[in-house]
Chains A and B, each alone.
Chain A
Amino acid sequence: MNKAVITVVGKDQVGIIAKVCTFLAKHEMNILDISQTIVQDYFNMMMIVDASKVEETFGNVADELDALGKEIGVNIKLQHENIFNKMHRI
Chain B
Amino acid sequence: MNARPQATAGVALTLPVAVFFVVFWLVPFLAAVYLSFTDYEMAGTPTWIGLANYERMFADPGFLNSAWITVVYTVCTVVPTIVLALLVAVPLSRPGRLNRWLRALVMIPAVMPLAATSMVWVIIYSDGGLANTLLGLAGIAPQSWLTSSDLAIWALVVMVVWKSLGLFAIILTAGLQALPGEVYEAAALDGSGPVTTFTRITLPLLRRTLLFVLVISVAGSMQAFVPAFLLTGGGPADATQVLPYYIWANAFPYEHMGYAAAMGMVLLAAMVIVSALQFGFLKGDDE
**Genuine A/B complex:** no
Chain A residues near B (Cβ < 8 Å):
none
